[in-house]
Structure 1
Amino acid sequence: MGRILDEHLIYEVLSVVEEIPAGKVATYGQIARLIGRDKNARLVGRVMSMAEYYGSYPCHRVVNHAGRLVPGWKEQRALLEAENVPMKNENHVNIKACQWAD
Structure 2
Amino acid sequence: MEDSKSNFFGDVYEVVKLIPRGRVTSYGAIANYLGVKGSARMVGWAMNQAHGNHSVPAHRVVNRAGLLTGKHFFSGGPEAMQQLLEAEGIMVKDDKIIDFKSIFWDPAKELEL
Does residue 38 (structure 1) correspond to residue 37 (structure 2)? The answer is yes
Deviates more, 1:63-72 or 1:53-62: 53-62
Task: Indicate the residue corresponding to 1:58 in structure 2.
Answer: 57
C-alpha deviations, 1:45-91, integer Å up to 9, x for none? 0011111476621000000011001243210000000000133x220
Deviation of 1:98 (Å): 1.2
**Compared with structure 1, are the counterparts of its residues 86 and 52 closer, same or farther at alpha carbon in structure 2 (3 Å cutoff)?**
closer
SS of the residue 2:17 aligns to: helix
- Work out the percentage of aligned pairs sharing the same amino acid: 35
Task: Indicate the residue corresponding to 2:110 in structure 1.
Answer: none
Distance 2:52 2:42 in 1: 16
For structure 1, which runs of at least 5 residues remain unmatched after alignment? Answer: none
**Compared with structure 1, are the counterparts of its residues 37 and 4 closer, same or farther at alpha carbon in structure 2 (3 Å cutoff)?**
farther
- Are the counterparts in 2 of residues 51 and 57 from structure 1 also a CA contact under 8 Å? yes
SS of the residue 1:19 aligns to: coil
Q: 1:91 aligns with which of 92, 95, 105?
A: 95
**Compared with structure 1, are the counterparts of its residues 99 and 71 closer, same or farther at alpha carbon in structure 2 (3 Å cutoff)?**
same
Task: Indicate the residue corresponding to 1:29 in structure 2.
Answer: 28
**Equivalenced residues, count:** 100
What root-mean-square deviation, in Å, do the aligned CA atoms of Structure 1 and Structure 2 show?
Answer: 2.0
Does residue 101 (structure 1) correspond to residue 106 (structure 2)? The answer is yes
